[in-house]
Structures are given as structure tokens and as C-alpha cells.
Amino acid sequence: MKKILTTLALLAWSLTAPAATVDLDTFIVEDLKVGSPDSEAAWVRTQLGNPTADWTVSLHNSRATEIEDFIYEIDFIFEPDYFVLKNATKIALFANDSPDTSTGVFDIRFLSSEFNVEDDTWTISHVTEITAEGGGTTRENPVPEPTTLALLGLGVLALRSRQNRASRN
């Protein structure tokens, strides 16, 4: 009987145990927002102690998706070495060192209240992907650019219009 109770207790505990945690990218530092992408790259070089390093900087808008309590994920265009999250007043630097380098996974509890995480108005205005020259890899973007689709649509319309004119004559 004691063995059955112990087994049931272990089973109940295993069902209520928290889910496995995800691999997070490493939080490095948070600071006041800097201006242009060039000054941001200079800030990153300074934070990493390598002010003369060459970097490729890619700036884009991104939405963070909550994957667990306090844990968010963003998709990257490239597979950067580092990434910077920005809102209106703050920036935060992370090393992209989790196993899946095509996404950034971070815990918002590392960020200060100035990132507006406590009042559910969590915002990221931009994400900057930073790759050391010669490092990182480009991922294909599975979503076609709107400009490309617009040009393709205009070309199809022009061909159709030409066909209509030719059939009337």
C-alpha cells in the first residue's frame, strides 16, 4: 500500500511540475536609447569591448510572441551574433547564443520597468540584428516583399490589357 501511495504521489507531482524551460539568449546590458543604426553599432562595439570591430547591421520592425510566462520570441531575418531590442527610450543588448539562432528568445524580467513590461504595454519599436563581418548566415525570407508582388501584378495587368487591345483589333 505504501508503494502505491508513493507511486501516486510521484505521478501527481510530475503532472503538476512546471514545464521544461526554453533556452534563452544571453542578456548583456540595457541602456538609454541611442540614435542611428551606426551609433547603435558603435554602442554595441563599446559594450562588447571591441570598438574597432566590423559589423553588419540590419534594422527591422518585429513582433514579439509570448511563448511562456515572461518569455518572448522574435523571428530574425538573418542569424545574427547579437540583437538589440528598442522601444521609445531604452535599448537592450542580447547575445544570440541559444541553439536556434533564427529566433531571439528572451526573458523580459531582465528588462527594467522603462520597457513597460509591468503594465502590459510591452512594446518593441525595432529590432537590430548585428553580425560580425564574415559571420552569421542569411535566412531566406519566406514572405515575398509587397513591392515585388505589386510589380508582378502590374505586369500581369499590362499583359492582359495588351491582349484585350489585340483581340479588339
CB 96 within 8 A of CB 149: no
Higher pLDDT among residues 36 and 82, named by residue:
82
SS3 112: coil
Model pTM score = 0.64
60: its cell numbers: 527591422
123: its cell numbers: 512594446
CB 31 within 8 A of CB 85: no
Band (pLDDT 50/70/90 cuts) for residue 133 is low
Q: How many helices (H) and strands (E) does the chain have?
A: 3, 10
Q: How far is CA 134 from CA 51, 53, 80, 129, 138, in A?
A: 17, 11, 11, 14, 11
55-80 per-position pLDDT tens digit: 776 777 767 788 888 888 888 888 88
CB 66 within 8 A of CB 72: yes
> CA-CA distance, 116 to 32, in Å (whole number)?
14
Select the highest-mean-pLDDT range: 69-73, 123-127, 149-153: 69-73
